[in-house]
Structure formats: structure tokens, C-alpha cells
A and B are shown apart, each in its own frame.
Chain A
Amino acid sequence: AQSVSQHNHHVILSEAASLELGCNYSYGGTVNLFWYVQYPGQHLQLLLKYFSGDPLVKGIKGFEAEFIKSKFSFNLRKPSVQWSDTAEYFCAVNPGGSQGNLIFGKGTKLSVKP
């Protein structure tokens, strides 16, 4: 079955530290990839997405993600985190690229200490 794995359940960083959240998926064909974020008390919202082209995708608030097809990975990065980045981050895949559903990872909670 198709699945998405997020390696870390909870990550704790100090402000200004660099961030990398891992995401791996199991699907051999075309995929569209997403990162969604849920800030405390807010709705899930789209952070960035990859459909095709440059495998390095830039999103909102200084986040970026790199698609590495050979590794089935789509890791999220940010060079310097802020306290306001404290949130839960979800990686998601649209297998086949045209279906109407997303397969989500179980999420990674990021806590940034001021």
C-alpha cells in the first residue's frame, strides 16, 4: 500500500538552528508532493508543493523542500528557525498526480525554544 513516512515524531530546536524534517514515500510512479503545516490553534494550511521541474521548491516563511526521486524523499528545510515556526508539519503525496486524495504522513511536531 502507498504510504508516507515522517521520520521524527517530535523535534525540539533552539531559535536560529537549522531544520530538516524527513519525508519518504512509497510509490514508484509520478507523484505530486506537499508539505502542510498546522500552527497552534489554527487550521492546516499549505506550506509548499512540488509537481514538476526544479526539485528544489520554495514555500512560505522561508521554508524549502527538495525532491530526490532516487530516494523517494521530499525533505523540508529551513536555515534558521524562529519561535513562530512551532507547529506540526505534515508531508503528503498525491500518487499518480491526478487522484483526488492525498496520503499524509503522521506529522512531525516542531517545538522551537526562544
Chain B
Amino acid sequence: KAGVTQTPRYLIKTRGQQVTLSCSPISGHRSVSWYQQTPGQGLQFLFEYFSETQRNKGNFPGRFSGRQFSNSRSEMNVSTLELGDSALYLCASSLLTGANEKLFFGSGTQLSVL
């Protein structure tokens, strides 16, 4: 069974640009969560989608957005990039919604903002 797939693996952008990251969950999983990981702040929750609906949202500015498609694949978008957005963005999928579910993480997308 294929795991959670995140693309691209690495991304370099400049300030002010926007970026879209993609996540394909494990087949059959309907929930996708996104986390930002930085050395200073650790892992921080961005948002969770279940059946194409955003179920929960973390404390991030509106520049961070996401969506989920009918096949459960998810994308997150960051507009007007700032230097502080440089981070590893992790996607996790689970069968059902809620953090009590076992989360399966992808390898992440390493975003560098110059």
C-alpha cells in the first residue's frame, strides 16, 4: 500500500511569490492534515480537511489556505511568501477525521524562501 505522497520534495521561492504544495493520502483515507515544521517552533498544525471540507484550522494567517478534492488529494497554498515561511511542510492522512486517529505522515515538502 503506497504511503502519503507529497510533491514537490524541495521548493525554492522568493519573497512575495505564491506556492502550491500537493499531498496524496493513503488510498481510502479521507482526512488530510497539514503541519509546518521549523527548528524554532517545531511542528505546528495548519489545517485539516475531511471529505472536501475544512474541519479545523490552526493559528496561521489567511495567506495559508488549502483545499481537498473529491479523491481526497489535498493542496495547500501560501500567498505573498515571507522569509519566515521557510519550513518543512508535512501532510498526514488518516481514515477518519480527528487527531485521535492514527496519522500517517508524508516525507514533507522543504520550502525555502529567499
- In the complex, whether B100 has a CB less than 8 A from a CB of chain A is yes
Contacts of B42 in A (CB 8 A): 90, 104-107
Which residues between 60 and 104 of chain A lie within 8 Å of chain B, taking CB atoms? 90, 92, 94, 97-104
Q: Is the CB of B99 within 8 A of A99?
A: yes
Which residues of chain A have a CB within 8 Å of any CB of chain B?
A: 32, 36, 43-46, 49, 51, 90, 92, 94, 97-107
- In the complex, whether B45 has a CB less than 8 A from a CB of chain A is yes
Q: Is the CB of B99 within 8 A of A43?
A: no
Contact of B56 among A44, A45, A100, A105 (CB under 8 A): A100
Closest Cβ of chain A: how far from B92's Cβ, in Å? Answer: 8
Please give the number of chain B residues whose Cβ is less than 8 angstroms from any Cβ of chain A in the complex. 27
Q: Is the CB of A100 within 8 A of B43?
A: no
Q: Is the CB of B105 within 8 A of A102?
A: no
Q: Is the CB of A101 within 8 A of B99?
A: yes
- CB nearest neighbor in A for B37: A104
Q: Is the CB of A32 within 8 A of B100?
A: yes
Contacts of B99 in A (CB 8 A): 32, 94, 99-102
Contacts of A106 in B (CB 8 A): 41-42
- CB nearest neighbor in A for B38: A106
Closest Cβ of chain B: how far from A41's Cβ, in Å? Answer: 9
In the complex, the 9 A-B pairs of residues with the closest C-beta atoms, listed nearest first: A100-B56, A101-B45, A106-B42, A104-B43, A44-B105, A100-B48, A94-B99, A43-B105, A102-B99
Closest Cβ of chain B: how far from A35's Cβ, in Å? Answer: 12
Closest Cβ of chain B: how far from A75's Cβ, in Å? Answer: 18
- CB nearest neighbor in A for B56: A100
Q: Is the CB of B56 within 8 A of A101?
A: yes
Contacts of A90 in B (CB 8 A): 42-43
Give Cα A101 to B42, complex, Å.
14
Give Cα A62 to B78, complex, Å.
41
A92-B43, A99-B98, A102-B103 provided; 15 other pairs, C-beta below 8 A?
A32-B100, A43-B104, A43-B107, A44-B103, A46-B102, A46-B103, A97-B100, A99-B99, A100-B31, A100-B48, A100-B56, A100-B98, A101-B56, A101-B99, A102-B43
